[in-house]
């Protein structure tokens, strides 16, 4: 079979139908056309913000798209959540040019998911190999320093390692559903002290507040206005320049409402805090959060406990609450591995990074085991 691989500087060039014929079967909201198009069309992920789309599309001889890969030419490492700044600094001090680089990822989204998307009628392994080879060829054609694929699935990560890419491992904190029917069932799996603490935190957080989970037709522009204010407040305090524009939230609210769970806290009818989640086929993904009023434990309630309740009610297998945060362990979110893969052109930099990763991977694995053994809130069986 004859195939062609093309590079596109906008997801709209590939089109919603062709893209989602490959992304839709994954059930992952972040690789959907609607999410990625919202990033681009809203001005959130564009060349001006350091994200220049270079998406790949694999077509057969009739023009049918067999596979796609979200790919960006990056002028920095902002908004990626896999930290290679030290690699860039070392290379540039030695006289090299690290940026631009190619990145296979979802903008601003540290959630594990598929990065090589294949049509249901195509062989997924063949598509993955073709897209990966296409991305590596694009590195050479553009003369950039490297290719990085962030937060791939474990299967894709292992396949990229077998293809010669350097493998990196990190950790996130994930809640897993052990078949709970109610939140109290989840609490029953915890130690007595943790049950008491969580119940107290929930009481104190909710005192005097009306907490609602909004999804589908319940979402309005007024809710997005309020949430954007929360997002700006958190963003300005944590990293200085929030990535997402107000238009981004309107766009996903218009096209993805049934895949959104927006948790909002109201005092006397006025919204004071919120947490945004996206709903996948088998997972709830926590994304942004913010508050205009300091309330003890409200962050835990909106981001962690409400997410667990929602996942249980929908029969979802897990809640992925984003990057970092050992405090999540006490709330039932245990450390789990996440991955990235890296192709570096310069032999010297590649050797140095490979040596670094050889020490980092076992250290991360040991850290996951140690945190689970020492800090798990779950009762011993």
Domains of the chain, residue spans: 3-171+337-375, 178-316
Question: Which residue has better confidence, 102 or 324?
Answer: 102
CB 204 within 8 Å of CB 296: yes
What is the share, in percent, of the chain residues with pLDDT greater than 90? 95
* 381 pLDDT more than 70: no
Q: Give the integer Cα–Cα distance in Å for 140 and 142.
A: 6
CB 265 within 8 Å of CB 272: yes
Per the document, the length of the chain is 381
The tens digit of pLDDT for each residue in 39-71 reads: 999 999 999 999 999 999 999 999 999 999 999
| Phi, psi torsion values for 200, nearest 5 degrees | -65, -45
Give the chain's end-to-end CA distance (angstroms, integer): 54
The tens digit of pLDDT for each residue in 180-208 reads: 999 999 999 999 999 999 999 999 999 99
Give residue 257's pLDDT. 98
Residues 6+ apart with CB under 8 A from 167: 157, 160, 161, 339, 340, 341, 342, 357, 361
CB 71 within 8 Å of CB 79: no
Give residue 219's pLDDT. 98
Give the three-state DSSP class for 80.
coil
Model confidence, pTM: 0.96
The tens digit of pLDDT for each residue in 291-322 reads: 999 999 999 999 999 999 999 999 999 999 98
Question: Token pair of 198, please?
Answer: 């969580």
CB 88 within 8 Å of CB 98: yes
- Class of the CATH domain delimited by 178-316: alpha beta
The tens digit of pLDDT for each residue in 222-244 reads: 999 999 999 998 766 655 578 99
Give residue 235's pLDDT. 65
Q: Give the integer Cα–Cα distance in Å for 175 and 153.
A: 17
Homologous superfamily (CATH) of 3-171+337-375 is: Gcn5-related N-acetyltransferase (GNAT) (3.40.630.30)
């Amino acid at each position: 079979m004859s195939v062609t691989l093309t590079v596109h500087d906008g997801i709209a060039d590939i089109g919603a139908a062709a893209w989602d014929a490959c992304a839709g079967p994954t059930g992952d909201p972040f690789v959907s056309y609607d999410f990625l198009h919202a990033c681009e069309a809203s001005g959130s992920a564009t060349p001006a913000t350091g994200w220049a789309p270079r998406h790949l599309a694999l077509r057969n001889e009739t023009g049918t798209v067999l596979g796609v890969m979200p790919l960006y030419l990056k002028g920095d490492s902002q908004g990626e959540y896999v930290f290679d700044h030290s690699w860039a600094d070392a290379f540039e001090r030695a006289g090299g040019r690290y940026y631009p680089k190619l990145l296979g990822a979802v903008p601003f989204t540290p959630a594990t998911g598929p990065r090589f998307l294949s049509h249901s009628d195509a062989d997924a392994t063949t598509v993955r190999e073709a897209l990966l080879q296409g991305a590596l060829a694009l590195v050479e054609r553009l003369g950039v320093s490297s290719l990085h694929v962030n937060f791939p699935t474990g299967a894709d990560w292992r396949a990229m390692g077998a293809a010669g890419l350097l493998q990196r491992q990190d950790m996130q904190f994930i809640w897993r559903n052990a078949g709970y029917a109610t939140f109290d069932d989840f609490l029953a799996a915890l130690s007595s002290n943790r049950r008491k603490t969580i119940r107290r935190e929930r009481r104190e957080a909710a005192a005097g507040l009306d907490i609602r989970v909004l999804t589908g037709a319940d979402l309005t522009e007024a809710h997005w206005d309020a949430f954007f204010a929360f997002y700006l407040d958190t963003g300005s305090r944590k990293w200085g320049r929030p990535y997402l524009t107000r238009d981004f939230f309107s766009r996903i609210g218009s096209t993805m409402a049934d895949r959104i769970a927006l948790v909002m806290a109201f005092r006397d009818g006025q919204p004071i805090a919120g947490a945004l989640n996206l709903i996948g086929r088998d997972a709830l993904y926590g994304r942004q959060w913010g508050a205009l009023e300091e309330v003890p434990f409200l962050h835990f309630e909106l981001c962690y406990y409400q997410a667990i309740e929602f996942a249980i009610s929908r029969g979802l297998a897990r809640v992925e609450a984003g990057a970092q945060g050992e405090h999540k362990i006490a709330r039932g979110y245990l450390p789990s591995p996440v991955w990235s893969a890296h192709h570096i052109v310069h032999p010297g930099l590649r050797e140095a990074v490979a040596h670094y990763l050889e020490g980092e991977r076992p250290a991360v694995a040991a850290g996951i085991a140690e945190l689970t053994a020492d800090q798990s809130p779950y009762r011993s069986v």
